[in-house]
Amino acid sequence: MAEINAYRNVRFDVHDIRFGGLIMRLKSCKDRLNDYISGKIGNIPELDDEIYYLKT
């Protein structure tokens, strides 16, 4: 059981990288939305794409 706990403590770097990437994506999204709201860009192409609904 001590071996499992040792590996858990070491792998925080993976979570740091994932959370860091998420934070950067959110900041980028915020910047693009602010540019759209302020009129610096006319549209956000990703939001103009057709929405495909999944059938379950």
pLDDT digits (tens, 9 = 90+) for 11-46: 778 888 899 999 999 999 999 999 999 999 999 988
Arithmetic mean of pLDDT, 1-6: 58
Look at the pTM and tell me if it is higher than 0.75.
no
Q: What are the distances in angstroms from CA 23 to CA 18, 29, 30, 33, 46?
A: 9, 10, 11, 15, 19
Burial class (CB in 10 A: 0-12, 13-18, 19+), 14: exposed
Q: Is the pLDDT assigned to residue 2 strictly greater than 60?
A: no
Inter-residue contact 20 to 28 (CB < 8 Å): no
43-47: long-range contacts, CB 8 A cutoff, minimum separation 24: none
